[in-house]
Amino acid sequence: MSTGPFRQIVIAGGGGAVGTLFADALRAAGYPAVAIIDRHPTPATLGQASSFLEGDVQRPAEEMQSLVRTCDLLILATPEPVAIAAARWMLPEMKHGSLAVETLSVKHRYAAVAAEVVTGAELLGVNPMFAPSLGFAGRSVVAVPYRCGALAQAFLAFVAAQGSDVVQLSADGHDRACAALQVATHASVLAFGMALSAGGYDFATAERIMPPPHRTLLALLARIVAGDPEVYRDIQSANPYAARVRADMLDAHRRLERIVASDDPESFRQLITDLRGLLAGSETDHAGLCARLFKVDPRG
C-alpha cells in the first residue's frame, strides 16, 4: 500500500482511455482508494475502482459532491466541455490540501477557469503525449502548473516514476506546441486519407506494391480512424492556433504546386535544402529512425 499523500482519489471519466491509464498506474503503485465517476460502468472500470459512482459530472448529485469534498486528488479525464463544466462546481467544493488535475489536450479555456475560480485546491494540468494504451514508460507528459505546490510536485514525481519524461510548459506554450505536434500531424494524415478517397484509391492493387512511406502513412491513418473521433475533432477545433497551422499547411501545398509547376529543378533543390535545415536542429537521427521503421515486416 502506498504511503503517498493521496489517501482518497477520484477520477472523473475514469472509464475512458486516459482515466484508465491513471487508474491502472495509481492502483499498481499501491493507492487502494480510487473512486471512479462515469456515466457507464464496464467490467474493466469496476475492476479498477475501489468504488464506482454512475453519474454525469456536469449534474452533481449529493453522493458525487461528497466524494469531491473529501478527496485528496481529483483527476478530470473527460472531454473539454465536460471538464470545464465540472470544474466550475468541483473546484470550489474541494478542501484545502487537495489537488485537481485536468488531462485536456487543449489548455487555454481551462486555464481561464483556473484563473477565476475560488478554491483551496492546488491546480495542475497534464497532457500525456501518447495514446493511453501505450503506457507511461518511455513517453512524454506535459505539465501545466496553474496553482501548484507540494501536492502537484508529488503527483508529477509519481508520473515520472512511471518512466515518463515530464516537461513543464505554460498553458499557451502547451497549445502552441500541440498545434505543430498534433494539429499539423493529424491534419496531414487526415488530408492524405481524404485525397486517396477522392482519387478512387484501389486498395487491392496498392496493397501488393505500396512502398514503405505510403504504408507508414496508411498505418498512421488507421490509428487515427480507429480512435475516438471526438478526441481528434477536439484537437482540431479547440486549439487556438489550429486554424493558423492549417492555413500554413494550405500555403505550403500551394507553394509546392508553384515550385513543381515552374519546372525549375533549382527551386525544388532549394526546397529540399531548406527542409534539411529544419531537421538539422534535432538531436535525433530521424533518417535512421525512418530506416528502422521501414524494416518492419508489414505482414506482422
Confidence of residue 44 (pLDDT cuts 50, 70, 90): low
Helices (H), 9-79: 17-28, 43-48, 62-70
Q: Where are the domains of the chain?
A: 9-169, 173-294
Query: In which band, very low, low, confident or very high, does the pLDDT at 51 lie, cut at 50, 70 and 90?
Result: confident
Classify the phi-psi angles of 268: left when phi > 0, otherwise alpha if psi is within -120 to 50, otherwise beta.
alpha
Q: Return the CATH fold of 9-169.
A: Rossmann fold (3.40.50)
Distance separating alpha carbons of residues 159 and 164, to the nearest angstrom: 6
Q: Is the pLDDT of residue 3 over 60?
A: no
pLDDT at 4: 78
Which residues are CB-neighbours of 39 under 8 A, at least 6 positions away? 15, 54, 55, 56
| Rounded Cα–Cα distance for residues 100 and 242 (Å) | 27
pLDDT value for 297:
86
Q: What is the pLDDT of residues 163-215, one digit of tens each?
A: 999 999 999 999 999 999 999 999 999 999 999 999 999 999 999 999 999 99
pLDDT at 89: 97
Which pLDDT score is estimated for 47? 59
pLDDT at 15: 87
Q: What's the pLDDT score for residue 230? A: 87
Mean pLDDT of 226-250: 94
Q: Is the pTM of this model over 0.85?
A: yes
Q: Express each pLDDT in 55-85 by its tens digit.
A: 999 988 899 999 999 999 999 999 999 999 9
At residue 46, the pLDDT reads: 56
Q: Which pLDDT score is estimated for 130?
A: 94
